[in-house]
Amino acid sequence: MGILSNLKPEPVFHYFEEICQIPHGSGNTKEISDYCVRFAKERGLRYIQDEANNIMIFKPGTAGYEDSAPVILQGHMDMVCEKESDCDIDMDREGVRLEVQDGMISARGTTLGGDDGIAVAYALAILDANDIPHPPLEAVFTVDEEIGMLGASALDCSPLKSRLMLNLDSEDEGYLLVGCAGGISAKGGIPVTRFSASGKKATLRIAGLLGGHSGIEIDKGRANACKLLGRTLYALNKDFPILLCSLQGGLKDNAIPRDATATLLLDADADESQIAERIKEMQQEYQNEYRKSDPNVTCAMTFSEAGTASAITPDIGKNIIAALVNFPNGIQRMSFDIEGLVQTSLNLGIMKTSDEEFTCSFSIRSSVETEKCALVEQLECLMESLGGSLKTTGEYPAWEYRPDSPLRDLMVEVFEDQYGRKPVIQAIHAGVECGLFAGNLPGLDCVSFGPDMKGIHTPAEVLDAASVLRIWEYTLEVLKRLK
Ligand SMILES: [Zn+2]
């Protein structure tokens, strides 16, 4: 008897429990991938396992559905392995320890992996059944979604004939996800020349910000430490001439930077108390402007003794400050198709100086490809006009909202019949695997949905069993009507 054997739908929880016994953190997916291969072999189903361990399993349509348009069932096999500090499970080698409490499934001391093991369990249960009517199925299980969608990026989609996809990697029952942002990383550089200068040494620091994810949390209006540092330097330099020695801020291009620091040289006879007064005023301005989003923002200057330092030449220093002041940042445009959706944004995530160069890294997102390209060009134009340049990497496509989507219409209709209310149609300002599939399968009509989960990617992760049952019935009804 398994721990989940009393739960319905029995076949889904049967496979979910099996999956939970197999360690399957990102980067450790050979065993779960081989498990899916055995599943397909035992049932005589055609399958493809690629070098990355991605799996495709094919099943013909059932009676009356032989000639229906094929449907992709998709999810990812890998999970985020997180555990409590006192938990002794070796997640590279052991499965998780399931628990059920008040209809909520969790794993003792660790993440559960409902994200996205439940998708694999749903698909295997449908592939295994002989009493569920459905069109020809193409089940696609990817690896390493949680560490940059590596499996989906590497996947050869040419064996897929379907242009209808049900992605089961959402964790809010009642929401249908129908679009996501594409993205690109951009790194700007301005070559630097230096000279040995003397003056009063000082350090300017912006700190105390909340930061956050540059996609999901860009709509929170939080301050960007690098931008505030640039603004402070520009204002300060009007009354108190400064020479820049170094700049440093942020850790990742996809995280809003929480602090930033500049080391400077001031005139040897600069009045510290006047400068401190000006800095204090600016701190008050920032605390007022960001009183809701970043109430603890600080702006502070510390002074050291006079001396010599390697300073950036004044003309280049001026260009760097101009760049920081003029970089677009944050939300650029909201969607007019989906209320409340950020359509295009960017985040200045990291800035640094070396002996030779000032560099700044951005994460750019948009659910409209051309807006993403235009924003790259805006940055490039600015960098070039300031004697610098811009390079891009890591581009991934948007899953653009389809004004006309027969699959979405059907799924709304089935939802209304089953739940007696309308689902929420949603798009997100971050990347999901559907974007990569939409890029590879022209004309793809895709909806992402799933049962309720809370606390994913943390040991507090729970999966709602009753929700799993409703989404199971919902999925089967959608398949039935895709005749
Ligand atoms: Zn996931």
Q: Can you give the residue ranges of every domain in the chain? A: 10-180+399-481, 184-396
Å from CA of 256 to ligand 1 middle: 22
| Nearest-10 Cα torsion for 126, 130, 136, 137 | 20
- Round to whole Å and give the CA distance between 470 and 172: 12
What is the pLDDT averaged over residues 430-454?
A: 94
Strand partners, 142: 76
For residue 356, with 0-12 CB atoms within 10 Å meaning exposed, 13-18 middle and 19 or more buried, which class applies? exposed
- Round to whole Å and give the CA distance between 390 and 62: 54
Extract the tokens encoding 277: 């007064």
Å from CA of 316 to ligand 1 middle: 45
Contact call for residues 342 and 331 (beta carbons, < 8 A) = yes
Where do we find the tokens 């040995």? 196
- Round to whole Å and give the CA distance between 211 and 232: 19
Å from CA of 387 to ligand 1 middle: 42
Instruction: Please give the angle made by the CA atoms of 209, 182 and 343, to the nearest 5 degrees.
Output: 65
For residue 442, with 0-12 CB atoms within 10 Å meaning exposed, 13-18 middle and 19 or more buried, which class applies? exposed
Q: Which CATH class is domain 10-180+399-481?
A: alpha beta
- Round to whole Å and give the CA distance between 379 and 375: 6
Contact call for residues 408 and 447 (beta carbons, < 8 A) = yes
Crossing angle, helix 10-20 and helix 30-42, to 10 degrees?
140
Q: What are phi and psi for residue 144, nearest 5 degrees?
A: 55, 35
Neighbours of 475 (CB within 10 A): 25
What is the pLDDT averaged over residues 164-192?
A: 96
Model pLDDT, residue 21: 97
What is the pLDDT averaged over residues 442-459?
A: 95
Q: How confident is the model at residue 213 (pLDDT cuts 50, 70, 90)?
A: confident
Bin 103: left if φ > 0, else alpha if -120 < ψ < 50, else beta: left
Model pLDDT, residue 380: 98
> Mean pLDDT of all residues in the chain?
96
Model pLDDT, residue 394: 83
Query: 184-396, what's its fold?
Result: Alpha-Beta Plaits (3.30.70)
Q: How confident is the model at residue 251 (pLDDT cuts 50, 70, 90)?
A: confident
Å from CA of 156 to ligand 1 middle: 20
Å from CA of 120 to ligand 1 middle: 11
Model pLDDT, residue 430: 85
The 10s digit of each residue's pLDDT in 25-79 is 999 999 999 999 999 999 999 999 999 999 999 999 999 999 999 999 999 999 9
- Round to whole Å and give the CA distance between 8 and 259: 49
Q: Which amino acid is at 294?
A: D
Extract the tokens encoding 140: 């696609």
pTM of the model: 0.82
DSSP 6: T
Å from CA of 357 to ligand 1 middle: 38
Å from CA of 171 to ligand 1 middle: 8
For residue 298, with 0-12 CB atoms within 10 Å meaning exposed, 13-18 middle and 19 or more buried, which class applies? middle
Strand partners, 448: 167, 177
- Helix count and strand count (H, E) for the chain: 11, 21
The 10s digit of each residue's pLDDT in 336-346 is 988 899 999 99
Q: Cis peptide leading into 156, omega within 30 of 0?
A: no
Where do we find the tokens 């510390």? 302
Å from CA of 449 to ligand 1 middle: 11
Model pLDDT, residue 464: 98
Looking at the chain, the whole-number percentage of residues with pLDDT higher than 90 is 92
What is the pLDDT averaged over residues 425-447?
A: 93
- Round to whole Å and give the CA distance between 310 and 245: 6
44 to 18, 67, 304, 434: CA distances (angstroms):
20, 20, 75, 28
Instruction: Please give the angle made by the CA atoms of 123, 127 and 133, to the nearest 5 degrees.
Output: 105
Domain 10-180+399-481 shares a fold with domain 184-396: no
Q: Cis peptide leading into 70, omega within 30 of 0?
A: no
**Is the model's pLDDT at 1 over the cut of 80?**
no
The 10s digit of each residue's pLDDT in 306-317 is 999 999 999 999
- Round to whole Å and give the CA distance between 265 and 311: 8
Catalytic residues: 78, 145
